[in-house]
Amino acid sequence: MCGKEIIDLRSDTVTLPTEEMLDAIRTAELGDDVFGEDPTVNRLEKLAAERMGKEAALLVTSGTQANLISLMSNTKRGELVILEAESHIYWYEVGGISMIAGLLPWPVKSRLGALDPENVETAIRPQNIHFPKPSLICLENTHNRHGGTIITSDQIKAISEVAQTYGLKLYLDGARIFNAAVALKIDVKEFTKHVDNLMFCLSKSLCCPVGSLLIGTGEFIEKSRKLRKVLGGGMRQAGIIAAPGIVALESMIDRLEEDHRNARRLAEGIAKIERIQIDLRRVQTNIVCFDISGLGIAADLFISKLKEKGILALTLDENKVRMVTHRGIEKEHVEKAIAAIESIASERHLELK
Ligand SMILES: Cc1ncc(COP(=O)(O)O)c(C=O)c1O
């Protein structure tokens, strides 16, 4: 960061590759991955599958592509998919679930991102000529729109029991699953053992430039490989993407704790500011969401005022702002962000008096 320092808290997707990743890219052994001949991709896929306790993995271009492929792989067109009402698949993936996969999304509300098994059971309506066949349940962990909340292993297990009872598949959008594992200090397999398949992103807090991994049985991955090709995601010398992914899995996971500490520091600072509401229970990983309706200005305007002070953030809705900590955000950046929010709030306080 140089010149007028910009503190970018919009997302952990803004992270840049580390020097070690750049070295790994420069020296990666490459081949044509559509022919299955890129040794670096093969190594990453094997490593990722082992890490998740599953048979096989597939490197894909993005989290959105991973989710779309898994929706298509796990279902047939015309079927019904149960997902959490604030989930990324439902909100932010351009309706690919319907437009491309031909599925009916069936949103179910939750309080902190964890679906209630009873509500899922209710959503699985009895067979009836009027209803599409339910075939898949999707979970998200950590849960982005709920503020980086963690869905515990027991909560996933409870949903997996419902899925098994009714013969549905269970998929996990684990874009930030390592954040959940690090926060709870447990092995990531504690989550993955309860789901049929999942994805995680390399390009978020793990700092890789590109890529996500889809993980599941050998059969699921073979089907998904073909679907990736249909969607134009077959890549040739993809080892340049896989090489930093290997570095990420080997050395970027433990440091997520630092991001969580900074998020907590940020949230606790914000909690002290008058007229701003923050639910500290939700601040469990690297995402901090807060409500500025007490300031009497729209979140868009609040964000632009923050930008003038060198702080970048995103809106969640017209009253809510989201900030995400990541590699490159240090304690002093957090303090500057709190000070900037405080100064906007006190300006508004004077105007409102
Ligand atoms: C929970 C979740 N799933 C999926 C995605 C999509 O990932 P990508 O931006 O790589 O398509 C995101 C992106 O922020 C996400 O937060």
pLDDT in tens, 121-150: 999 998 999 999 999 999 999 999 999 999
Q: What's phi and psi for 244, nearest 5 deg?
A: -65, -25
Residue 207 per-residue DSSP state: -
User: Given ligand 1 and candidates 13, 67, 92, 198, which is best to mutate, with the most ligand atoms within 8 Å of its CB?
Assistant: 92
pTM: 0.97
Q: Given the CA of residue 203, which atom of ligand 1 is nearest to it?
A: 10
At residue 351 the predicted structure's pLDDT band, cuts being 50, 70 and 90, is confident
63 C-alpha to ligand 1 centroid (Å)? 5
Cβ-proximal residues to 304 (8 Å cutoff; 6+ apart), any chain: none
Among residues 114, 107, 109, which one has the least CA distance to residue 159?
Answer: 114
Nearest CA to ligand 1 atom 9: 63
User: Given ligand 1 and candidates 144, 149, 199, which is best to mutate, with the most ligand atoms within 8 Å of its CB?
Assistant: 144
For ligand 1, say whether the CB of 201 is within 6 Å of any of its atoms: yes
Strand order in the sheet with 134-140: 56-60, 212-216, 197-201, 169-173, 134-140, 80-84, 104-108
- Whole-angstrom distance, CA of residue 307 vs CA of residue 20: 31
Q: Given the CA of residue 173, which atom of ligand 1 is nearest to it?
A: 3
Tens of pLDDT along 116-128?
Answer: 999 999 999 989 9
